Amino acid sequence: MRRLIYFLLAFVIWIFLTWPFTNDRINNIQIVVAGLIASIIVAVLFQEVLPPEHHIFISPKRIVWFLLYIPVFFYYVLKANLDVVYRALHPQMPIKPGIVKIKTSLKSESAITALANSITLTPGTLTVDLTDDGYLYIHWINVQSDDIEKATQIIAQKFEYFLERIFEEP
């Protein structure tokens, strides 16, 4: 069942990436066959690498939360990009780099990984390490607080709200 879900997920992603098809019928068939072969390979080889919580991919409620998360994530990425550009172009370059420790309330490995990736993909922050007890170490271009709770609120809470609903709610 898990391999089937990953096969379907990989094939749907393949179709979205190769869309729109051309008027050449033979070329379209080759694209679909290549996608089928690639999806089978991905499902067989990477089945153990992907999260065991495979049911999250087929829950309509989780899909809705994911679709809501995408624009929120892009908003914070854009906001952070503008902040980094401001700091880079400012004559005095107002930065205060450092590594801060934050505590996540997320429990599943998939949710914590998604949080760490969301933080890393946001300019000005980089997830350096994560521990088994739910702490993440983040390199921050402009440290605003050394306090764990305050840093967590500034860096992670905006993502945790959505990721908890995507990965952890029943």
pLDDT digits (tens, 9 = 90+) for 95-142: 999 999 999 999 988 899 999 999 999 999 999 999 989 999 999 999
Same domain, 16 and 78: no
Tens-place pLDDT, residues 38-89: 999 998 988 777 666 666 667 888 889 999 999 999 999 999 999 999 999 9
Those residues with Cβ within 8 angstroms of residue 138's Cβ, 6 or more apart along the chain or in another chain? 99, 100, 101, 102, 119, 125, 126, 127, 128, 151, 155
pLDDT at 35: 94
pLDDT at 21: 78
Same domain, 39 and 62: no
Neighbours of 88 (CB within 10 A): 10
Same domain, 31 and 76: no
Q: Whose structure tokens read 């153990």?
A: 48
Helix (H) or strand (E) holding 5: helix 2-18
pLDDT at 55: 62
Count the domains in the chain: 2
Q: Give the domain-ending residue among 50, 68, 84.
A: 50
**Cβ-count burial of 13 within 10 angstroms (0-12 exposed, 13-18 middle, 19+ buried)?**
middle
Residue 3 has pLDDT above 90, yes or no: no
> Which domain does 28 fall in, by range?
2-50
- Six-digit token string for 159: 């993502």
Q: Give the domain-ending residue among 11, 34, 50.
A: 50
pLDDT at 89: 94
Per the CB < 8 A criterion, the answer to whether 119 and 138 are in contact is: yes
Same domain, 111 and 157: yes
pLDDT at 4: 86
Judged by DSSP in three states, 66 sits in helix
**Integer Cα distance of 8 and 1 in angstroms:** 11
Same domain, 74 and 106: yes
